[in-house]
A and B are shown apart, each in its own frame.
Chain A
């Protein structure tokens, strides 16, 4: 039964869960979340971010609780809780969700490249390069993916310091007044940050790949906490840098913010930022597609590379036949209310069902 069992040599240290969670969470969301957040909550947006971070922590706790009762991954947990057919249906939903998340990240980033740098390059050209890279990383197995996640987090950390440059042009009274939005506004703001916060749920796929998995919980929490703090920092800097109306007009506030940077050897810094962002994006797409194809493998017992090919082709075809902005709106819609809601409701439900089953068995 224990199909989810993974050979010891493919496992990674619990410490790396920090980077897996953190690098998966930070992606395209952090480029543009400020705009909607400023519209709904304005100066109180930081409360929404902290609230979203809190929810992420609770979800991580739920995930670890589930797997402390049912060791394995989400596929075995689903089967255990709901039986083969319904369980497999939910596993399929998860696979679909992972695929859509990966697709959203890629198309969002291609959209950014189109607007900021190469408007004349067709989107499939970028998609092709990314997909080949993702496939190549995925053939290396989960250890390679972890390595990439680690490397990409380390390589992009310096981008944070660019934000300090913007403080030179900032107006700190923009942070005030606090607490003048209603709770429902703040809750709306929390929902709008979900694209920045999503990504932690990949744990449900790679949990069996962690050595001494239970001890990795603190690293998962650490990764999520880091993401929350970075998001918070980015939002606060954007608040003092932009005025409210300006922030609502700017589509990618984080990128526009870096265009104020001028260095003696480079005049237009945002081009470096946009290009470097590819490194932030790579683990996002890789882990998502890995999780989707891994789920497929577990469900249908095929080699992992076949679903990976299939998914790559789906993404490529989407990029060729659907104009990327249109597909982006649909995908964002799917991910933002529905995907996030699915994760936030389904995982606690799963925990409850598993818990009840376990109690019954004991009786």
Chain B
């Protein structure tokens, strides 16, 4: 028994085997941005909060260039007083130019493999230079730009027109044959960062985008959603704007089993409330509501058709119609 006690006493010696990572002694990156330079090198930027009293929201940006995304971290660490670690990264930004040139699976390979990073990391694309977005100041002084951007995306997912997105969901779609997927887009407008739609991917490269105005219908096609704002114009003399807030919306897909005429019927169901109608007429009038309903239906169908036509022309499938069709018709195989 005494022997055993001695052995147990020796256990604390094993504790020093692992390297501790104390918050104060590392540079904890909360956001990463990648830009592609003219000579095909990659510039990486790490947003790192500074923890000091009375310095809420203070942060530093470390940047470095290298030929690969993972090596940037080492390059940056060479210039910093503490090692840069990724454990707390919430959002990773890529420039549009970069994802049009380099495949997403190549870029995310390291991110997915790295156990320090969770699966919930948000990926986003920046129209223009990532550097400008990362260097812009968030309107809220108490948070750094990384937290601000991830908060922005999350808030849009919950209450806006942004579809669910994170590393896991993106890769799930992107790794399928064809690799059709989507990511949120950012744009710097008058020195303010704002969401500007969705970037669409095919064969791992960004090929197109969905503008902000189409995001409501895009989200409805992709998933069920609760909140979300839809604005359209009534087609009468006054051409007044109607704003509808969705309460519960979503789409269902009916796949026909026949091999000769493969077809998918998409049914969109929207339960919403009228937030605003720029009109003096009383909304208690049932006729008026019927009219708004009808016009909204026509407008949405038009928009959805336009969107689908656009996807078809570019042979894109961000909605995952392929999988939905294959689920019902197992004989069908993918054509690359």
Contact = CB atoms under 8 A, between A and B. Distances in A.
Interface of A: 115-118, 120-122, 125, 128-129, 132, 136, 169, 171, 173-177, 179-180, 242-246, 249, 256, 259-260, 262, 267-268, 270
Contacts of B18: 117-118, 120-121
Given A121-B18, A249-B175, A259-B119, A267 B88 contact: yes
A322 B118 CA distance: 31
A271 to B, nearest CB: 9
A260 B168 contact: yes
Interface in B150-193: 164, 166, 168-169, 171-173, 175-177
A118 to B, nearest CB: 4
Contacts of A176: 326-328
Interface string B10-27: 010010011100000000
Given A120-B18, A129-B14, A177 B327 contact: yes
B79 interface: no
Given A118-B18, A173-B323, A176-B327, A267 B175 contact: no
B262 interface: no
A118 B120 CA distance: 21
B118 A243 contact: no
Contacts of B120: 259-260, 262
Interface residues on B, range: 20 to 34
Contacts of B327: 173-177
Given A246-B175, A260-B168, A267-B118, A125 B323 contact: no
Contacts, number: 74
B175 A260 contact: no
Given A116-B115, A120-B18, A260-B120, A246 B326 contact: no
B4 A136 contact: yes
A121 B323 CA distance: 43
Contacts of B275: none
16 contacts: A117-B115, A120-B18, A121-B17, A125-B17, A129-B11, A169-B166, A171-B172, A171-B323, A173-B323, A173-B324, A173-B327, A174-B327, A242-B172, A243-B175, A244-B176, A246-B175
A128 to B, nearest CB: 8
A118 B323 contact: no
Contacts of B11: 129
B330 interface: yes
A177 B118 contact: no
A244 B175 CA distance: 8
Nearest to B115: A116
B139 interface: no
Contacts of A177: 326-330
B175 to A, nearest CB: 4
B7 interface: yes
Contacts of A116: 115
Given A118-B18, A169-B169, A242-B172, 5 more contacts: A129-B14, A243-B323, A245-B175, A246-B172, A259-B118
Contacts of B115: 115-117
B176 A169 contact: no
A18 to B, nearest CB: 31
B330 A243 contact: no
B87 interface: yes
A174 B320 CA distance: 11
A337 B121 CA distance: 39
Contacts of A244: 176
B176 A245 contact: yes
Given A121-B17, A121-B18, A132-B7, A268 B87 contact: yes
Contact of A270 (B17, B118, B164): B118
A121 B15 CA distance: 10
A222 B327 CA distance: 34
What are the nearest 9 A-B pairs in CB distance?
A176-B327, A177-B330, A245-B175, A180-B330, A121-B17, A243-B172, A118-B18, A259-B119, A173-B327
Interface string B84-123: 0001100000000000000000000000100100111000
Nearest to A268: B118
Contacts of B88: 267
Interface in B25-78: none
Nearest to A115: B115
A244 B7 CA distance: 48
Contacts of A171: 172, 320, 323
Contacts of B328: 176-177
A250 to B, nearest CB: 8
B173 A125 contact: no
